[in-house]
Amino acid sequence: MTPSPAARPQMTVEDFEQIARAAPETVTLEFIQGRLEVKPVPDGDHDEIIMWVLRQCMQHRPELALYPERGLKVEAYRAGRARVDGALAPVGTFAGQGEWADPAGVLMAVEVTSHDHDTDRRDRIDKRDGYAAAAIPVYLLIDRDDHSVTVHSEPEAGTYRSTSKTTYGADVRIPSPVGITLNTEALKDFAD
């Protein structure tokens, strides 16, 4: 979704990319809904959850790879820049692409919430809407605040038409084009 005229972007995409290139490795920057966002550096549990998703995807769909911390052009007209926790795509999808890749081959975006003040707006709203606008078929949100797993699917006109939410421990069906079922019992190990 593009920002409303009242919510003018803080800068151009080109300016953001220049700033992001110059940022130190300890800072992760994103440009979502016309705003510069600072994404927290992941903690150990966050990394373990991403690795758990990676192993599950590789077991079920070995022809796919879960690319961690991949920069994607998102939102309407690709005007946003998101550093997705995991981008599930066919092996080789990002060959030859730069830091900010076209999301055309991405089957699923994966985000794990961080324990910070911006996670509600960033992971639950802005990124969801950006991934839907970029027509990424599935958005998987692993929410460490309420110990839930949410699957958004069927993007249409910048929104996901289908959403299902379950708690850690349940089987989570991820629809086509991913087409796998995750048993999330292991996520209980990362519940605070």
What is the predicted pLDDT for the residue at 30? 66
In tens, the pLDDT along 94-127 reads 999 998 999 999 999 999 987 766 665 777 888 8
Range of the domain at 109: 42-190
Q: For the whole prediction, is pTM greater than 0.75?
A: yes
What is the predicted pLDDT for the residue at 3? 45
In a domain, 34, yes or no: no
Query: How many structural domains comprise the chain?
Result: 1
In a domain, 21, yes or no: no
Q: Distance between CA atoms of 54 and 35, rounded to whole angstroms?
A: 30
In a domain, 18, yes or no: no
Q: Distance between CA atoms of 113 and 172, rounded to whole angstroms?
A: 18
CATH number for the domain spanning 118: value is 3.90.1570.10
In tens, the pLDDT along 122-152 reads 778 888 999 999 999 999 999 998 999 999 9
The mean pLDDT value for 59-69 works out to 96
Q: Distance between CA atoms of 130 and 33, rounded to whole angstroms?
A: 8
In tens, the pLDDT along 72-89 reads 999 765 678 888 999 999
What is the predicted pLDDT for the residue at 4? 45
